[in-house]
Amino acid sequence: MSVILLISAGVLLLFFGGEMAIWASEQLAQRLRIARRVVGLTLTALLTSLPEIFTNAVAGWEIPDQWPIDTPHNAAGVAVGNVMGSNVANALLIGGIALVYGLSKKRVFRPSSYMALLAPFMTYGLAKDGVLNSFEALILVGIWIMTMRHFSVYAWAERKERKERALSKTPTAVSVLVLLVGGGLMWIGGVYCVNGALLWVEKTSLGAIAAGAILGLGTSLPELAVVVAALRKGSFQVMEGNILGSNVVNPLVALPAVTFGGAVAMPNFLPSTLWAFLATAVFLAGTKASQPLKRILGGLAIVGYFGFLAAGLA
């Protein structure tokens, strides 16, 4: 299958999967009387991060057992570029689009903001010695689980304040099924897009840094699909939650997935960590700005993302 066909098929699957995910998230938020933002932070964020998780798990599994543990393998670098590049794409490109075209709420859920900023540094701290093992990966996933538990407690507390909201007529089981199917479509679409990008890299003889940047952009397409669907439906809280939630899932779940086949030697990824932190900080600053300034920051964020790509391709 050619590069154009792979990427085109992937984008279509991502679009339809995003449409299904945003509809199901809306139905669940109404049915359970929980904040749309919390649904975006949890279920939708996890589903749209499946391409990152799958790609890194495959990369970790394919690292040869005989590879010296003190020597970083290319797959580990790809995994880091995939996760941190995806976080930068989520915050600058997708977040910038959200700021320019629709995000109008000044208030964000503070715990998610803190976690989105700190998560890359948590991962870097454990891998700073040059190795990420399965136990450290479990620590990171455990932090994510505790974070999701905190979000669910927040959602339960809000339930009492949302009794006046009309319940959705769609059964919860149907909404969950649609959400899972949408996630599956986004996962397959993300894989197609990533494979197309890798094929393009192979044909044009681009370097590993470029491959990581393209992977980060490709695996962020599900988030872009959800944001486009949310903009069309005016679901700003789901959109905001999905961007921040994905930037928590990526470092705490997707990157640890590279240890699926055992401990992995890691390169120094402090520069990528700083990029992910600064990109998220720019998006959060934009959510609190006035409407005219919000659009300006959104435009600068989009330009900044292409600057990030240019720096990686150089």
pLDDT in tens, 92-140: 999 998 888 866 555 555 677 888 999 999 999 999 888 888 899 999 9
Task: Please state the rounded mean pLDDT for residues 82-91.
Answer: 90
Task: Please state the rounded mean pLDDT for residues 145-169.
Answer: 61
Task: Assign residue 108 a region (left: φ > 0; alpha: ψ between -120 and 50; beta: otherwise).
Answer: beta
Does pLDDT of 239 surpass 80? Answer: no
pLDDT for 6 equals: 80
CA distance 262 to 65: 9
With bands split at pLDDT 50, 70 and 90, how would you rate the model's confidence at 35? Answer: low
7: nearest Cα among 224, 206, 191: 191
CA distance 231 to 241: 13
Domains of the chain as residue ranges with CATH: 3-313 (1.20.1420.30)
With bands split at pLDDT 50, 70 and 90, how would you rate the model's confidence at 266? Answer: confident
The neighbouring-strand residues paired with 265 are 131
With bands split at pLDDT 50, 70 and 90, how would you rate the model's confidence at 66? Answer: very low
Sole residue written with tokens 């589903």? 47
pLDDT for 229 equals: 76
The neighbouring-strand residues paired with 131 are 265
Of these ranges, 28-37, 86-95, 170-179, 240-249, the one predicted with the greatest mean pLDDT is: 86-95
pLDDT for 164 equals: 46
For the chain, give the mean pLDDT: 77
CA 190 to chain centre: 12
CA distance 185 to 225: 11
CA distance 228 to 247: 18
Q: Which residues contact 86 (CB under 8 A, 6 or more apart)?
A: 52, 215, 216, 217, 219, 220, 246, 250, 254
C-alpha dihedral, 223 to 2 to 181 to 178, nearest 10°: 70
pLDDT for 50 equals: 76
pLDDT for 208 equals: 56
pLDDT for 75 equals: 67
178: nearest Cα among 47, 38, 12: 47
CA distance 80 to 289: 31
- Per-residue pLDDT reduced to its tens digit, 185-196: 877 876 777 677
Residues in the chain: 314
CA distance 283 to 208: 27
Does pLDDT of 251 surpass 90? Answer: yes
Q: Which is more confident, 70 or 50?
A: 50
Q: Which residues contact 220 (CB under 8 A, 6 or more apart)?
A: 86, 89, 90, 93, 94, 246
Q: Which is more confident, 166 or 129?
A: 129
Does pLDDT of 289 surpass 90? Answer: no
**Count of CB atoms situated within 10 Å of the CB of 39:** 30
